[in-house]
Amino acid sequence: MIKALINELPVEVSEGTSILDAARQVQVKIPTLCKHRDLLPTAACGLCIVRNKGGNRLIRACCTPLETGMEITTHDRDIVDVRRSTLELILSNHPHECLTCGRNGECELQTLAADFNITLEKIKRFVKDVPPDTSTNSIVIDFTKCIKCGRCIQVCQDIQNVWALSFLDRGINTRMAPAGDITLAESPCVKCGQCSAHCPTGAIVEKDETATVWGSLRNPEKFCVVQIAPSVRVTVGEAFGLPPGTNLTRKLYTALRRLGFEAVFDTNFSADVTIVEEASEFVERFTKRRSALPLITSCCPSWTDFMEKNHYDFIDNFSTAKSPQQMMGVLAKTYYAQKLGIDPARMVMVSIMPCTAKKYELSRAEEMRASGYPDVDVALTTRELARMLKQSGIDFLNLPDGEADSILGAYSGAGTIFGATGGVMEAAVRTAYAYATGRHLETIELEAVRGLKGVKEGSIQLDGQTVRLAVAHGLANVEAVLERVREARRAGRETPYHFIEVMACPGGCIGGGGQPYGVDDARRRLRMAGLYQDDRDRAVRFSHENPEVVRLYAEFLGKPLAGRAHQLLHTRYTARPLYKR
Amino acid sequence: MKPLTFDELEAFAAARPAELDWIRVQLDTGGIAAGAQDILDDLVRLRDEAGLTIPIQSVGSVGYSFADPVVEIQCSGMPHVTYGRVDRHVAEGIIREHATSGRLIDDHVIATRNRRCVLEGPVTHILVRDTGSDAGNKTEFLQFSLLEELKRKGLGERVQVVRAMDLGLYDEGLAVQLLPAAVTYSNVLAPDVARIVDESVVGGRLIDDLLVRDPDRQVRIVLRNCGRIDPECIDDYLRHARGYQALARVLRELKPEDVVAELKVSGLRGRGGAGFPTWLKWQITAAQPSDERIVICNGDEGDPGAFMDRSVLESDPHSVLEGMMIAAYAMGASRGYFYIRAEYPKAVARVERAIAQAREAGLLGTNILGSSFAFEAKIRLGAGAFVCGEETALIASIEGRRGSPSPRPPYPSVKGLWGKPTAINNVETLANVPAILLNGGAWYARHGTEQSRGTKVFAVTGKVKNAQLVEVPMGTSLREIIYGICGGVLDDRQIKAVQTGGPSGGVIPEKHLDTPVSYETLQQLGSIMGSGGMLAMDETDSMVDVAKFYLRFCVDESCGKCAPCRIGGYQMLQILDRISRGRGAPDDLATLRRICLAMQRASLCGLGQTAPNPVLSTLRYFEEEYRAYIEGGPAFARKMSRSATSPTAAPVREPATAAS
């Protein structure tokens, strides 16, 4: 243990703890713009400087481990002056467009400038005019607002292993940009949006489509329907000051109805449908076509994009089941439209997603128009929804509870845990076990695949056979899992896993790139806990036992994997190699 | 060449080469740029035409940059002479006059600094030069008088009087050097001419009141072999420079900790600029538990005007390699990297050759000299970023990553290249090492000052008469370097300041020129030792322009990683630019100081922390000049830029009064 003094307060921390983290333990906040709790320090911003033992040299608190005997001063006149000058320098290289910025009110730089009471511009402003990158329909990069903290690059390279973003040039011309100075769309970007979730300013934001949705809602010709993703219910409250993990499902139903949506569906329902299809796929492969194992989940669009670009040798292993967002879309524009006698051409399907890649998924492949129309018209992130709610004048937190629309609204506990890493696996295993054995699993809560460990492994017994499971989240963790499978293949051994779940974002969708700002592991845990609580609160905890799902198959789809289900609910993948492996 | 053994190495050292005739052409980058390669070709052709057999060698540079191309010649029966500014006519002269008829060539001889106080043997040549101001030069008068006097004594045929290009004496009136004894007289007046001929030439006696007794101010440890051996030939190094003897001694007699102890006694500190004790760096690296350790030679010299490391790598690569191997032995490293900037192709080629030769001689690889020591060396090229001279950025660059510094700790000596403990030493530091191990740490420690031991190489440029490499003991004053060694200021102008430490350093005004040079004293004056660039500025130079020049360099070279350096440097440059155009605002100086402070305190690496130094030190010593720009407006700025470009314009001595 390290014992030291911070602002004369004794602290005791484990070895290797940075001064920045140690200071938090004694309620001392050292300002920083570049250090993020998810990431290693880049030491870029220069704001976290502190002094040791009154020495003349200032050290960076973010990357200097506390040592026994240190006497750290975090705030004295000199330090604060230097910090202020540095902050003024950063502001002098930043457009002052706060009022019209996507991060207005939620920007770390703006907050610091306010905290430091910087009211006069003493250093002449210099901002190079660079056009934004709007090449993808998910993410917008405004290079002028970038403060070069390096968070996005670290997330993109180290956490996600995508390597779309990098620093180019040097000195005052240093730019964060897609590597090789191409557009984001041409880059290896998988649109996961983790860069936007970690950006301290408005340099990387989701493509805002609230205006489109407002337009549709106000257009009497349109019939607007909406779906909310599993994780959104436990995160949207954060935008209104509630603690992470607060379940606001029923308030969301009411709110969306008040916004003007004609029908409110729940993506949890289509998650149940996805599980019915995917579990059927698994049972079919596990019992009949062992060669097509492991089965790999495909409901994360960033992951499918990443696979098509980098791991296309696994195309045959991918579940062909569409993601819940797309299933909901196609079912609304076919089954629901038929039932209510609505022209699907008039119907506008809006999805509320934790994710920027979901915007990309809308046009990912031809199958995303299986209804004959775009199955989903607009995908909004949680952040955009929060913005719309605030614009609408709805007192969100005090709304009465509401209900989702019937036939595409009821959900099981298995559907709701889709939003957490390991959730899809857990849900699928519950149903697959039942399909294969006709019985329920004894313990339906698969603790082995829960939690924030990068790669989780587990197994279940299925009629005397062991089913080996692996769950990876954060794309950098995928490589190791797939490499084990490849190795076994090369050696002609049996596959080490039968079923693999991958979610691109750390923590799964609850840590998605479109979620409210400020994500870190503590928040991820709380958000996950909210979903698992929702699961426990459900009367039905198996996707295939969701009565509305049963009705859907009986009335409309027929059998899983076949006929109409196959036509509407499944997709294909194409290799889009970016690099030679 | 088969692998060398200890005994063979010893035999090399013992063998005393016979004094042979030779001509050496100094072929380093500077020499080649001045046409040394053509001179070499000319000399070979002329020699063959003349039917002579004298060998012509190419060697590195002795450091006389002001005199490139430089040719040294030793001919039996003739004094050993160095010729500077050799052109085709001089080359012709060297073969047809010097080598054939024993006559030296006027206006090109650089006298030896190894002056002696004993007259033995007959005087054959007398070098003459007026060492005073350039105006009203009396060199020819002195030559004429001496010749007339000699003729009167009937010695006109036996003794040649030659106008020297440089006697190594400055501002000491008329001076003569009697060759071959190298006895030097200064402050010679007209009546002394007869005395010199009578007493010294005829009588063989010294004239005490004229005799220059000062020993050479320079002490050549790092540059000991530069210009003396062929850098492309390991044989030369082995036979004529006690090559690899230090390594042999280390492998045979010393344990690694003994080597560190010897370095500790020597007091050698890192010559890259920061002055960290070399022994300590090695000891820390050696103490890290690891299966592998790495030593890196930092040859990414990038300061404007600095060329010490280039010259050493080009002129004596084996010494650096030997130093690296000794370092590796001391800390248990098995791999070494030379990180050399790609803009130094000649240095790269010569180090590459040295490595290949050493490998062939069994000095690299396993079981070196029959011991259990194994070592491999490689070259990595720097891609043109100044910041890659910073340790962590250098490591990133070798690893193939973007060359930006990373936070320390972990220090490279704990976790460096590929995560292994790594010691990064400057070229000059390593070049010192073999000499220390051969002569002992105590010998080395005798040079220099208490805190800063040994010698330091400086590349003196700017407004000095003789821009060159100098190696002086620590503690030598700036004035001695500028006036005593480099001949003073160009056109005999008033010196204004000396800039040391390159873009990380500062200016030292005239009033502080007598400060002895050491890590500590320079820092107290607001500059740094740095890697050894030294730039003299005269009264016509605008200090605002100087600050702007260095700052612009740092702004261009900032990696852009951390905000204080990236934005601070740029904003300061904008302000300086405004001021230098006469458009500065009264509060600009306060803003400048504030940004300087933020950069110094909050930048991540040395580049950012020191980049404000040129601005701060010019502000410290020449604030009135900044104020003059601000108060004088564009008219004053125009006047200053005229006086800087045209040497005939009236210099602005007192900017404050000019403004008021």
Query: Residue B567 is nearest to which of A81, A83, A172, comparing CB atoms?
Result: A172
A231 given a catalytic annotation: no
The pLDDT tens digits of the residues spanning B591-609 come to 999 999 999 999 999 899 9
A299 given a catalytic annotation: yes
Written as one string, the DSSP assignment of A273-305 is: HHHHHHHHHHHHHHHT-GGGPSEE----HHHHH
Q: How confident is the model at residue B650 (pLDDT cuts 50, 70, 90)?
A: very low
Determine whether the interchain pair A171/B562 forms a contact, defined as Cβ–Cβ distance below 8 Å. no
The pLDDT tens digits of the residues spanning B202-233 come to 999 999 999 999 888 899 999 999 999 999 99
Residue B234: its pLDDT value, please? 93
ipTM over 0.85: yes
Rounded to an integer, the average pLDDT of A45-51 is 94
The pLDDT tens digits of the residues spanning A112-148 come to 999 999 988 889 999 999 999 999 999 999 999 999 9
The pLDDT tens digits of the residues spanning B524-551 come to 998 888 888 999 999 999 999 999 999 9
Of all residues in chain A, what percent carry a pLDDT higher than 70?
Answer: 100
- Quickly list H helices, A299-408: 301-310, 324-331, 337-340, 357-361, 382-392
Nearest to A190 by CA among A152, A136, A232, A140: A136
A366 given a catalytic annotation: yes
* A570 has pLDDT over 70: yes
Residue A324: its pLDDT value, please? 95
Determine whether the interchain pair B591/A122 forms a contact, defined as Cβ–Cβ distance below 8 Å. yes
Q: How confident is the model at residue A442 (pLDDT cuts 50, 70, 90)?
A: confident
The answer to whether the CB of A507 falls within 8 A of the CB of A230 is no
| Annotated catalytic residue within A45, A149, A355, A509 | A509
- Quickly list H helices, B293-344: 308-315, 317-331
Dihedral angle over CA of B163, B168, B171, B172, nearest 10:
-80
Rounded to an integer, the average pLDDT of B569-580 is 95
* B655 has pLDDT over 60: no
Residue B644: its pLDDT value, please? 58
* A581 has pLDDT over 90: no
User: Residue B396 corresponds to which amino acid?
Assistant: A
User: What tokens were used for A144?
Assistant: 């002028």
Give the count of beta carbons closer than 10 Å to the beta carbon of residue A69: 11
Give the count of beta carbons closer than 10 Å to the beta carbon of residue A76: 12
Residue B17: its pLDDT value, please? 64
Give the integer Cα–Cα distance in Å for B338 and B379. Answer: 5
Nearest to A138 by CA among A196, A212, A207: A207
The pLDDT tens digits of the residues spanning A333-348 come to 999 999 899 999 999 9
A278 given a catalytic annotation: yes
The answer to whether the CB of A202 falls within 8 A of the CB of A103 is yes
Q: Is B22 helix (H, G, I), strand (E, B) or coil?
A: strand
The pLDDT tens digits of the residues spanning A192-210 come to 999 999 999 999 999 999 9
| Annotated catalytic residue within A8, A221, A366, A442 | A366
Chain A residues interacting with chain B (CB cutoff of 8 angstroms): 33, 41-47, 49, 58, 60, 62-65, 78, 81-83, 85-86, 89-90, 92-93, 122-124, 126, 147-148, 150, 166-167, 169-174
Residue B647: its pLDDT value, please? 44
| Annotated catalytic residue within A192, A224, A299, A300 | A299
Give the count of beta carbons closer than 10 Å to the beta carbon of residue A313: 14
- Give yes or no for a cis peptide into B180 (omega within 30° of 0): yes
Beta-carbon contacts of A546 under 8 Å, excluding residues fewer than 6 positions away, are: A269, A272, A410, A411, A412, A415, A540
User: What tokens were used for A563?
Assistant: 């006929």
Determine whether the interchain pair A86/B564 forms a contact, defined as Cβ–Cβ distance below 8 Å. yes
User: What tokens were used for A564?
Assistant: 């109409």
* B651 has pLDDT over 60: no
Rounded to an integer, the average pLDDT of B286-296 is 95
What residue ranges do the domains of chain B occupy? 19-110, 114-215, 234-439, 449-643
Q: From residue A211, how far is each of A214, A219, A382 by CA, in Å?
A: 5, 12, 15
Residue B518: its pLDDT value, please? 92
What's the whole-number average pLDDT of chain B? 91
What's the whole-number average pLDDT of chain A? 93
Residue B635: its pLDDT value, please? 92
Q: Find out if CATH 3.40.50.720 is the number for domain B449-643.
A: no
* B652 has pLDDT over 70: no
Q: How confident is the model at residue B19 (pLDDT cuts 50, 70, 90)?
A: low
Give the count of beta carbons closer than 10 Å to the beta carbon of residue B18: 5
Residue B13: its pLDDT value, please? 77
Beta-carbon contacts of B137 under 8 Å, excluding residues fewer than 6 positions away, are: B130
- Which helix (H) or strand (E) covers residue B380, if one does? strand B376-382
* B304 has pLDDT over 90: no
Rounded to an integer, the average pLDDT of B349-363 is 95
Beta-carbon contacts of A443 under 8 Å, excluding residues fewer than 6 positions away, are: none
CATH architecture assignment, domain B234-439: 3-Layer(aba) Sandwich (3.40)
The answer to whether the CB of B27 falls within 8 A of the CB of B196 is no
* B660 has pLDDT over 60: no
Residue B8: its pLDDT value, please? 86
Chain A closest CA to B630's CA: distance in Å? 17
CATH architecture assignment, domain B19-110: 3-Layer(aba) Sandwich (3.40)
- Which helix (H) or strand (E) covers residue B462, if one does? strand B455-462
| Annotated catalytic residue within A361, A384, A426, A501 | A361
Structural class in CATH, domain B114-215: alpha beta
Q: Phi and psi dihedrals of A135, rounded to 5?
A: -70, -25
In chain A the domains, ranked by start, together with CATH numbers, are 2-75 (3.10.20.740), 91-207 (3.30.70.20), 210-569 (3.40.50.1780)
Q: Which residue has the higher pLDDT, B121 or A20?
A: A20
Do the two domains B19-110 and B114-215 of this chain adopt the same fold? yes
Rounded to an integer, the average pLDDT of B122-132 is 92
Residue B272: its pLDDT value, please? 85
- Which helix (H) or strand (E) covers residue B473, if one does? strand B468-473
* A287 has pLDDT over 90: no
The pLDDT tens digits of the residues spanning A471-485 come to 999 999 999 999 999
**Unique residue bearing structure tokens 């693999």:** A500
Determine whether the interchain pair B563/A92 forms a contact, defined as Cβ–Cβ distance below 8 Å. no
Angle ∠(B625,B627,B630) on CA atoms, nearest 5: 115
